[in-house]
Amino acid sequence: MTPEKPTRERLKRLQTAERRQATKTREMNIGRKIRGLPPLKIEKVCVEALLMLQGYRCHKCKSPLDFESKWEPKNPPPHYPVVAHPFARGSGGDHVVGSVWIWCQYCNSADAPEETSQTATQKKFGAILTTPRQKTPNTKKHSPWKSEFVPTPAKQLND
């Protein structure tokens, strides 16, 4: 069975989705700059070339993509094509040719579950909120000119 090619309308929707993903990445870079993190790389990705390269199949599961179904946000078709980032941008993945693929909705939803505001907060601030601060031991610097300084015997230094 040969996978079908997308209609012009479907291809235009995927191109719009790719531009939207690039815009989101630019917005993420603003927050990364504020936090002192290096910016993510952004390149224009040709969706049509990706589809041809993948043989009009999902890059992850290799099943044919569904270009006939209509998108329903509450109940999306499982093999509807979506622009996917295997290396999550939130974890430092860039929006460049090697990091953007066309996956089916099923694979994308399984790999990247929908974020709620609470999970997004945990991802952004989880390390700060969940790890207790380590108390640094009070290592008082001893000065050789003060009376409490006791030199270490040379025998212990060589061991």
Please provide the average confidence, as pLDDT, over all residues in the chain. Answer: 76
DSSP 36: T
Q: Considering its fold, how many domains does the chain have in total?
A: 1
Is 42 among the domain residues?
A: yes
* pLDDT class of 94 with cuts at 50, 70, 90: confident
Is 77 among the domain residues?
A: yes
Q: Using CA of residue 120, residue 123, residue 124, residue 127, what is the dihedral sign?
A: positive
15-21: average pLDDT:
89
Question: CA-to-CA distance for 68 and 56, rounded, in angstroms?
Answer: 13
pLDDT single digits (tens) 96-131: 888 888 999 888 888 765 554 444 444 444 444 444
129-151: average pLDDT:
53
Residues of the domain holding 102: 8-112
- 3 touches 64 (CB < 8 A): yes
pLDDT at 135: 55
pLDDT single digits (tens) 49-73: 888 889 999 999 999 988 888 888 7
pLDDT at 158: 57
Is 3 among the domain residues?
A: no
Is 155 among the domain residues?
A: no
Q: Work out the percent of the chain whose per-residue pLDDT is above 70.
A: 68
Single out the residue of 82, 89, 103, 101 nearest to residue 41, CA to CA: 89
Q: Is 49 exposed, middle or buried (0-12, 13-18, 19+ CB in 10 A)?
A: exposed
Is 47 among the domain residues?
A: yes
pLDDT single digits (tens) 72-83: 878 888 888 988
Is 97 among the domain residues?
A: yes
101: number of Cβ within 10 Å = 20
- 83 touches 21 (CB < 8 A): yes
Is 80 among the domain residues?
A: yes
